[in-house]
Amino acid sequence: MIIEVKRLLSKGKYTGEFEYDFTPDEDRTVVPLSTIDSVHVRGSYEIFDDDSVSVKLTLSYVLKGQCSYCLADAVQPVEYSTEVLFVTDKGDSDNYVYDGARLDLKPAVDDALLFSQPSVLLCKEGCEGIKIN
């Protein structure tokens, strides 16, 4: 999703909200044997005098696949919130950089999607894994 910062500034709109859904690329899941069908993104932005933009993001999705311990079917809902800052200073390596006119949320959303995923997907809490007799 693109936030048209210059257009919003010309309208005197320094804050706002957004909401959209997207289907992530298959290589965006970090848990083996799992998929994410759709991600719901909602959030808000605030544009500051120095053209930096604070963005609050909340991602919601369902991680589906095989249990990391026993390989049974597993489903886990995930909700993750974060706040990021977009700046126009290309020398700033601590924040996301944009050109001052159009801000693309994709890099921040992709990073949030990666950070939000659990390290394992379990079929149930306390799964003991495959039992060998």
Splitting the chain (133 residues) into consecutive groups of 10 residues, what average pLDDT does each group show? 93 95 91 94 96 97 95 96 95 92 96 95 89 73
CA separation (Å) from 70 to 51, 78, 118?
50, 21, 16
Residue pointed to by tokens 């005197």: 12
Share of the chain residues as helix, strand and coil, in percent rounded to the nearest 5: 15, 45, 40
* pTM (two decimals): 0.89
